[in-house]
Amino acid sequence: MLLSMNTIDYLRTFRLGGYAIFDFIASFLGMFLVAPLLSWLCKKAGIIVPKQNWIILTLPISILVHILFGTMTPLTKQFLDPNGHYIVKIIIITCCIFGALGLKRA
């Protein structure tokens, strides 16, 4: 059975609390790699966004992207659930607050 799985599906089998570890690592690594470009683009638009703020904003941005594309991941479902998962909501809102703290006008 393992031989019929592709590599991504296999890597997503490793989970912590129902979340695929691979997805989190890929998201944070991807944001780390594109943060300089995003900061440069925002600076051109008149907003200074430190590179570390992009890392902090990884989860909120990923939830927003998943909502926009209609892909309901477990984290997105938990964030949108009005009847619970308050720890997830607190973490995402905290990331939004700390991600916005270093923003400045250019």
Q: Which residue, chain included where needed, has tokens 């973490």?
A: 91
Phi, psi of 76 (to 5 degrees): -65, -45
Measured CA to CA, the distance from residue 58 to residue 28 in angstroms comes to: 6
Provide the whole-model pTM.
Answer: 0.86
8 residue type, one letter: I
Q: pLDDT by residue for the chain (106 residues), tens digit each?
A: 455 568 888 999 999 988 999 999 999 999 999 999 999 999 999 999 999 999 999 999 999 999 999 999 999 999 999 999 999 999 999 999 999 998 999 8
Measured CA to CA, the distance from residue 67 to residue 25 in angstroms comes to: 20
What is the token pair recorded at 44?
């051109």
Neighbours of 79 (CB within 10 A): 20
What SS3 class is residue 52?
A: helix
